């Protein structure tokens, strides 16, 4: 029947509850969980960061954009690792993905 269940993980309490539901359902269906966390491209674009820095009265920092990307990547890793660990603990196979794109 179902081979994979999509779990959208954003680190919220609701996503944690969804993880438990996905695990229970995957066990019943003998399916794999595909945990997905999308990094919103708008948070990584220069104009948004430049506007933010301007609002603070600071000069745009050229090294800020790579650091913002690193922070979002680290956050995604923590979120997806937690979902994968919960799946492993329950004996459910789990695959994780963290694409960057638009959420709209």
Question: How far is Cα 89 from Cα 104, in angstroms, rounded to an integer?
Answer: 34
Helix (H) or strand (E) holding 6: strand 4-8
> What pLDDT does residue 67 have?
81
Question: In the chain, what is the greatest distance between 2 CA atoms, to the nearest angstrom?
Answer: 57
Question: How far is Cα 64 from Cα 13, in angstroms, rounded to an integer?
Answer: 29
Question: Residue 19: which residues within 8 A CB-CB, separation 6 or more?
Answer: 7, 9, 35, 82, 83, 86, 87
Dump pLDDT digits (tens) for 27-81.
Answer: 999 999 999 999 888 777 665 555 565 555 555 556 677 788 888 899 999 999 9
């Amino acid at each position: 029947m179902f081979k994979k269940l999509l779990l959208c993980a954003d680190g919220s309490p609701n996503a944690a509850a969804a993880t438990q539901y996905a695990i229970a359902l995957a066990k019943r269906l003998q399916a794999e969980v595909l945990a997905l966390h999308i990094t919103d491209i708008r948070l990584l674009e220069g104009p948004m960061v430049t506007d933010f820095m301007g609002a603070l009265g600071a000069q745009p920092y050229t090294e800020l954009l790579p650091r913002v990307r690193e922070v979002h990547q680290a956050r995604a890793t923590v979120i997806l690792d937690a979902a994968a660990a919960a799946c492993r603990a329950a004996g459910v196979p789990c695959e994780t993905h963290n694409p960057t794109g638009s959420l709209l």
